[in-house]
Amino acid sequence: MRDHQSGFDLWERREQSVLRIVPYVSLALATALSLLSDHGSAGRVALQLGLSAATAGWIAWMATLHPQWPDRPRVPAGVYYPVLICLLGTLISLNPMYGFAIITGYVHAFYLRPRVRFVGVFVCAALAALAQMGGPGGVDGGSWPLYLLIFAVNALMSGGICLFAWRGDEETQQRKAIINELAEANARLESALEENAGLHAQLLAQAREAGVHDERQRMAGEIHDTIAQGLAGVVTQLQAAEQARARDADWKRHLDIAQQMARESLAEARRSVQALRPQPLEDSALPDALADVASRWTALHGVPAEVSTTGTVRIMHPEVEGTLLRTAQEALANVAKHAKASRVALTLSYMGDLITLDVRDDGAGFAPDQVAPTAAGGYGLTAMRRRVARVAGTLAIESEPGAGTAISASVPAVPVGDPA
Ligand SMILES: Nc1ncnc2c1ncn2[C@@H]1O[C@H](COP(=O)(O)OP(=O)(O)OP(=O)(O)O)[C@@H](O)[C@H]1O
Ligand SMILES: [Mg+2]
């Protein structure tokens, strides 16, 4: 594109420089020929030379030295051109050899407005015909028809040539404008592409960051529900063993439970790393796995936990079942840790498009809007909420101090094998 543009510019510059010298060359030639052919008085020669110099000066001042002046419509093109024609006409009337200089009249008709140009060209044709007839003296009553014929030939030829030249010039201008527009569009496209590439890189970086963030949260939830919960239980059992030993009671039982807990949470942590479903769901359906978890919890903490199921049991997507089981485990862990409850009820409801798990206890209760994660813990409810949200479910916590706690997780019923 730029090559075409510079090609155009080069040719235009060459054309401009040729056109710039045409007036002077033609005037010099005409002056030389007129001096050779004219054997008139010294005064007449001086007049011719003076007028030639004035014409050259007029062209130089108005067109060559101030090229932008005649370009302006009306004035001074409207001043420049008529004066030029008068000077050329006077020179032709002094000596017909100045007919050669009329070429400047044709070329500089360009400076006039498009419609007026033809008037300029026809006036030039009239002057050229006059020169070809040998000056005003050559046109008398009898030679008028010949003069008109020569004028017509001049007008047709020069008018035609000028018309084609102007059309060509207009086309060149249009082409240049199109090339400029295309070059601009190209530049805009290039910058848009660059901007796009920048945005793309930014989006990739953001997506990567979002991915890392999500994965970190998922891992935090997994660590909480497997290792942290297990370790908390182990610590509790070890403390219980120590106290039992001081009382001379059955401390060995607590050590055994601690050992079993450590093994189980280690196994769960390994399963989580391998992206396997929680162990209780490995061989059992969700209601059975829940019943198993609840009975083991009761055996450990001595608080009765009742599990009931409503609706038609269907096997759900592992993510859905895993989410509900982990919710139940954390809710029970919280009851053991914080509630001092006398009983717990777990209800699993299979409804049309939803499965809901409710865990209720009659313990101490708490103010849900006042709990926030701390360095010492407090991540269980947050992890529970995120886990439920990941399968497009919702978590509701109803509790107040002294009034027990109800946790309700509702998740979409996505049957096993459904890619959703
Ligand atoms: N069933 C409940 N009865 C009474 N208080 C509860 C119950 N469940 C949660 N809480 C209160 O909500 C807080 C936040 O619970 P969350 O499970 O988020 O953290 P945590 O159990 O303290 O620690 P973590 O689960 O990280 O080991 C608890 O500290 C407790 O005060
Ligand atoms: Mg907790």
Q: What is the pLDDT of residues 287-340, one digit of tens each?
A: 999 999 999 999 999 999 999 999 999 999 999 999 999 999 999 999 999 999
Are residues 125 and 99 in contact, defined by beta-carbon separation less than 8 angstroms?
A: no
Q: What tens digit of pLDDT does each residue of 217-254 get? A: 888 888 998 889 899 999 999 999 999 999 988 899 99
Token digits of residue 370: 């006042």
**Which residue lies with its CA nearest to atom 8 of ligand 1?**
334
CA of 337, closest atom in ligand 1: 21
**Which residue, chain included where needed, has tokens 């199109």?**
178
Residue-range definition of the domain harbouring residue 73 = 2-139
Residue to mutate, 369, 381, 397, ligand 1, most ligand atoms under 8 Å from C-beta: 381
Give domain status of residue 46, yes or no.
yes
**Which residue lies with its CA nearest to atom 25 of ligand 1?**
380
Q: Which amino acid is at 388?
A: V
Question: How far apart are the CA of 310 and the centre of ligand 1, in A?
Answer: 27
Give domain status of residue 171, yes or no.
no
Give domain status of residue 257, yes or no.
no
Of residues 173 and 325, more confidently modeled: 325
Residue 411, strand partner residues: 355
Residue-averaged pLDDT of the chain = 90
Domain boundary among 93, 123, 139: 139
Question: 218 CB contacts (<8 Å, ≥6 apart)?
Answer: 386, 390
**Does ligand 1 have an atom closer than 6 angstroms to the CB of 363?**
yes
Of residues 368 and 114, more confidently modeled: 368
**Does ligand 1 have an atom closer than 6 angstroms to the CB of 137?**
no
**Does ligand 1 have an atom closer than 6 angstroms to the CB of 23?**
no
Question: How far apart are the CA of 43 and the centre of ligand 1, in A?
Answer: 123
Question: How far apart are the CA of 417 and the centre of ligand 2, in A?
Answer: 32
The per-residue pLDDT for 300 is 92
CATH number for 318: 3.30.565.10
Residue to mutate, 337, 384, 386, ligand 1, most ligand atoms under 8 Å from C-beta: 337
Residue 365 has pLDDT above 90, yes or no: yes
Residue 414 φ then ψ, to 5°: -105, 105
Give domain status of residue 221, yes or no.
no
CA of 224, closest atom in ligand 1: 26
The per-residue pLDDT for 249 is 84
What is the count of structural domains for the chain?
2
Q: What tens digit of pLDDT does each residue of 77-104 get? A: 888 999 999 999 999 999 999 999 999 9
Give domain status of residue 84, yes or no.
yes
Cβ neighbours, 10 Å, residue 186: 12
Q: Which ligand is nearest to the CA of 397?
A: 1
Averaged pLDDT, 163-182: 88
Q: Which ligand is nearest to the CA of 232?
A: 1
Give domain status of residue 177, yes or no.
no
Q: What is the 3-state secondary structure (H, E, C) of 220-258?
A: HHHHHHHHHHHHHHHHHHHHHHHHHHHCCCCHHHHHHHH
Residue 344 has pLDDT above 70, yes or no: yes
* Distance between CA atoms of residues 307 and 271, nearest Å: 25
Residue 412, strand partner residues: 354
Residue 375 has pLDDT above 70, yes or no: no
* Distance between CA atoms of residues 420 and 409, nearest Å: 19
* Distance between CA atoms of residues 200 and 121, nearest Å: 61
Lowest-confidence range among 1-10, 143-152, 346-355, 381-390?
A: 1-10
**Does ligand 1 have an atom closer than 6 angstroms to the CB of 380?**
yes
**Which residue, chain included where needed, has tokens 């290792």?**
227
Of residues 169 and 145, more confidently modeled: 145
Q: What tens digit of pLDDT does each residue of 55-79 get? A: 999 999 888 888 777 766 666 888 8
Give domain status of residue 6, yes or no.
yes
Averaged pLDDT, 130-150: 87
Question: How far apart are the CA of 122 and the centre of ligand 2, in A?
Answer: 103
Domain boundary among 139, 163, 187: 139
Q: What tens digit of pLDDT does each residue of 406-419 get? A: 999 999 999 887 65
Question: How far apart are the CA of 64 and the centre of ligand 1, in A?
Answer: 93
Give domain status of residue 265, yes or no.
no
Residue 276 has pLDDT above 90, yes or no: no
